[in-house]
Structure 1
C-alpha cells in the first residue's frame, strides 16, 4: 500500500521524538505529538458438581461496570467490544477485556493489562493534554511496521509506523507501532491509521490508537503487550462491527 507523506517531528521536552513524521497517541498533523457486574439469582437447591448447569459459564446480560449512559453509545449492531477500564481518572494504568455479544449476553474473553495517557482520562480531549478520550468509538482500520499477523480489519503495512526515542519513564519507544488499530476518535473511518484527516479539527487531537506497549504511559493511546496486539488483530472482525469502550471506571459506570 502506498506510504503516506511523512514529516519530521518534535514533541514537548520529556516526551517522545519520532524517527519519522508519524505520531500516534494524541498528536495532530501539525504537531506530530506521540506520544459493577450483574448478578445471577440463586435457584433453590444445589446442582451436582458434574451437572451441565454447574459447568456453564455465567454470561452477563450487560457489560460489567458499564452504566446506562455509556451503554447507550454502543451501536446496536456491535457484536465485539474492547472494554478499557482505567484505574482512576488521573491514572495511566488500565485493564482491557474483550467481549463478544451472544444470545445470552456479553461473553468475556481475554483480560490484559494496559497503559493509557500519562495524566489519565478526559471527556473533552484536546491535542497535547496528555489524557485519553473517554467514550465509545468504532474500530475499522489497522496497520503497523511489521507484516500483517492475520488481521481481519484492513491492514496498512508501512515504514511510516517507524518510531524512535524515549517515553515518559525513559523507556525505549522502538517497536511501539509494530501493530496498531486506529481508534475512531477524530479519525476518518476507512483510512489508514497514518491518515491525518481530522473531522473535528486539529485542536481536538487525533492519532489515538491501540498499539504495542512500551512499558510506560502514552500521550493518549491505549497500549498492550505485543502478543496481545497480535491476538486482538486476529480477533477484531469488521463483520461484527467492533467498538472500543474506554475511560476510567467511575466515568464508564455512568
Structure 2
C-alpha cells in the first residue's frame, strides 16, 4: 500500500512538473516526504492521495481555500477543514440564489414598460417618487456601492441616467424580495459587467453551467478528500 513513489510518479498522474510536486510539499499541501540516505524524496500512496485531494479542492474551491483545507488536515484539525468546505458550499448556495434573483428581477425589468423619454435624466427626488421610496433610501443604496450616479457640474446634484435607473429598479425589486444590500451589490455588478439586462439575460445560461460545474467539482473533491483522510488513519497492527 505504501510502496515508494518518486516525484515523477506523482507528477505524471496529473500532468504537472516534479517541481510543482516539490513546491506543494514545501507549502504544506502534502505531508513531508521521507528522504533516502542520498537526499532524494520518497513519496507513498498517502502523498499521492494528498495530491489528488489538493488538486481536486483547487478546482472546486480555489487555491487559497484548498490550501487552507490541506493545512488544517495536516494540523489534525479536521473540524477546521470541514468548516472551510462548508463555507465553500455556502458560497455556492448564495451564488445559486443570486442567479435565481437575477433571473426573476431581469424578467420583471424586461417586461415592464419604460416611462422615461429616451435620454432623459432623473433627479433623486424623481427616482424616489418613481420607486415609491425616500430619497434617503436612494442615498443608502449609493453608499452601499449599488448606485453610482453622476453629478451635475453646475449644481453638484445627483443625475440618474438610464443605467442608474435600471440599477435602482433592480435594487428595489430585490429589496422587496428580502435580499441584503451586500447581496444586491453583487447582482447589480453582474448586470453592469454584462452590459445591461439584455446581455445579462443571454449570459445566465453560461453562469448556470459554471455553477453546475463547480458543484460537481465539489462532489469530486469531497470524495478525494475523504479518501485522503482514510489514508491518513493509522492502520491496525496485525
TM-score of the pair, normalised by structure 2? 0.22
Higher gyration radius (CA)? 2
Flag the structure with more relative contact order, 1 or 2, with Cα contacts below 8 A and sequence separation at least 6.
1
More strand by share: 1
More helix by share: 2
